[in-house]
A = this chain, B = another copy of it.
Amino acid sequence: MAEMTDAERRQELGQQLRVDSIRMSAAAKSGHPTSAMSAADLLAVLVDGYLRYDFDTPKNPANDRLIFSKGHASTLLYSIYRAANVISDDEMLSYRKHGSRLEGHPTPVLPWVDVATGSLGQGLPIGVGTALAAKYLDRLPARTWVLCGDSEMAEGSVWEAFEHAAHYDLDNLTAVLDVNRLGQRGETMVGWDLDVYVQRARAFGWHAIAIDGHDVEEVDRAYTEAVATSGKPTLVVARTVKGKGVAEVEDVNGFHGKTLDDPDAAIAELGGLREIRIEVAKPEPGEPYRFPTETLELPRYEVGSEVATRKAYGEALAALGTARGDVVALDGEVSNSTFAEIFAKAHPERYFEMYIAEQQLIAAAVGLQVVGWRPFVSTFAAFLSRGYDFIRMAAVSRARLSISGSHAGVSIGEDGPSQMGLEDIATFRAIHGSVVLHPCDGNQTAKLVAAMADVDGIAYLRTLRPATPVRYGPDEDFEIGGSRVLRSSDEDDVALVAAGITVQEALDAADRLAEDGIHARVIDLYSIKPLDTETLLAAVEATQGRIVTVEDHWPEGGLGEAVLSALGDAEERPRVIKLAVRGMPGSGKSEELLAAAGIDAEHIAAAARKLVRQTVHTA
């Protein structure tokens, strides 16, 4: 190809990417070839002239990052991999087949895919995270390129990304917007009115350039301008045609996510199969910045004093940040409530304020962990529900991520139900490969925060608003998957299983029960996933299978169901009374609300008494 100009070569490469996208979809009998075809020229210029990426060291922080926010254009990405010689034609044609690394939407099963996409509007906010990492942590000239579809611009998360990228001066971030006008079922709200996107981007503080996305020279100039722009991110708004190059489907509605009727004819129309190979430029070698560290000195709380677990979270995280240079923190404008502010004060260079934008909060953390940073994210447990799709997708991304939700349950008191995390155990348990922790005291919290940093997956820590008694010594160790038996005897009649705020209630209930001659075993099940089945089985055996679980959470999917689930297949199944919040709470004092929900000491004792009586009668 020596005699070709840059433009000619890139045009040819674009056609090859189209042809290969059609071949893949035809072989798979599914896929989104027309969505790949609109963006093919944009990507041809990018990988031929701009992307700096070493396929042999994909996690090298010096590499540019390429995120396909429109993950359904996966064939375009995979056709680039073939052009770059990192997958064979055979592997390319295994697209969407069971066991293939080339899934319907990109996932990190492939080493060059940093994050899973396919839930729209996530790529750009995640790109904010990778750009933050490069600029402020690794301190390398790596650039993040995000390919966005125009349909996904309707997602609010995209505008969170726009605002945060500008706020953090991310001139190392370029978004390439493939305005092919057509969504899954019709035209977008904006259509081909490129100026609307330009005006919006500018109003959010970006540099924006409108171009013809099939004119490779215009694309080239836009990328040059993006790279040269300092102080702000750049949006390249590219007018494109869905299905470009094949007359039958060009700009025709109704061909989203459909294979072409006659792939061979389409390939012929595009000029046939090509065997262009590209040499993607490698990045300048560069060592990422590393923060200095000291030895770990977790906070130590005196037994018998009181501290809120949310405060212990902040203090432990700050200590962990001193000991580990890879730990970073993000919070959603409530750092004085979650106490992430303690970390922010101790390690301002490793703290990112994400304001009230929980989707961007989670997404940035997903981006930060791509090259090995260990993000800790915090906000109210209730508001993590705002970023739930991002957490779900973080699991598909195989992300390593620690999340803390404060203000769990009715124990928060006066603020009322909008601020109460009452579904967080259920939702985090249902995240693939997650860890769910709910400590009841400060020292336990500190140890678990340190342990979270080594979890290979998504770890969730549920913390409390009110101060709780410190019951464990600062030298006691707590492992993920463990529990603590706080009270037991050889003649236990019933086991009370609690976590967080209900641990003290369970202990108080045990005192009341003792007055009636009922011996209650009390278990602090601080690790809800994974959980300590062995200790529960021992309790079943000791108590003739009488268990009361008590949680400041809805009855569904929480502590009680976790216990039932762990014991459901056991030879001896306990009878489990599940105490949980069943009515919609209002405002009130913490104690009033615990009582109203039937999860305070009095109600626990009553449930246990009834259970013991019933089972004695029926035994």
Q: Which residues does A use to contact B, with CB under 8 Å?
A: 28, 30-31, 71, 96-100, 102-105, 107, 109, 116-121, 151-152, 154-160, 163-164, 167, 183-186, 188-189, 196, 199-200, 202-204, 333-337, 341, 353, 355-360, 382-383, 385-386, 388-389, 392-393, 395-396, 398, 413-419, 422-423, 426-427, 429-433, 529, 554-558, 560-562, 564-565, 568-571, 573-578, 584, 586-589, 592-593, 596, 618
Contacts and interface: CB of A to CB of B under 8 A. Distances in A.
Query: Could you say how many copies of this chain the assembly holds?
Result: 2
Given A156-B159, A388-B388, A565-B561, A185 B335 contact: yes
A382 B119 contact: yes
A314 to B, nearest CB: 13
A573 B571 contact: no
B556 A593 contact: no
A423 B71 CA distance: 21
B151 A586 contact: no
Contacts of A593: 98
Contacts of A200: 200, 203-204
User: Which residue among A152, A159, A160, A418 has the maximum number of chain B CB atoms within 10 Å of its CB?
Assistant: A418
Nearest to A393: B418
A417 B429 contact: no
A51 B335 CA distance: 37
Nearest to A120: B356
A160 B155 contact: yes
B355 A183 contact: yes
A41 to B, nearest CB: 24
A335 B116 CA distance: 24
Given A155-B156, A426-B556, A569-B575, 14 more contacts: A98-B593, A100-B586, A107-B418, A116-B417, A119-B418, A154-B333, A156-B160, A185-B341, A200-B203, A382-B389, A398-B584, A429-B557, A430-B557, A568-B576
A188 to B, nearest CB: 7
B432 A430 contact: no
Given A154-B160, A183-B356, A337-B184, A584 B385 contact: no
A414 B203 contact: no
Nearest to A109: B586
A592 B100 CA distance: 13
11 contacts: A30-B414, A31-B414, A107-B586, A116-B418, A156-B359, A185-B341, A383-B389, A385-B389, A385-B392, A388-B427, A568-B575
Nearest to A74: B416
User: Which residue among A30, A119, A419 has the maximum number of chain B CB atoms within 10 Å of its CB?
Assistant: A119
Contacts of A159: 156, 159
Which 9 residue pairs across A and B have the least CB separation, nearest first? Answer: A156-B156, A118-B418, A98-B588, A557-B557, A426-B430, A159-B159, A423-B430, A104-B416, A429-B556
Contacts of A415: 30, 104-105, 118
A96 B577 CA distance: 31
B382 A587 contact: no
A116 B584 CA distance: 12
A154 B357 contact: yes
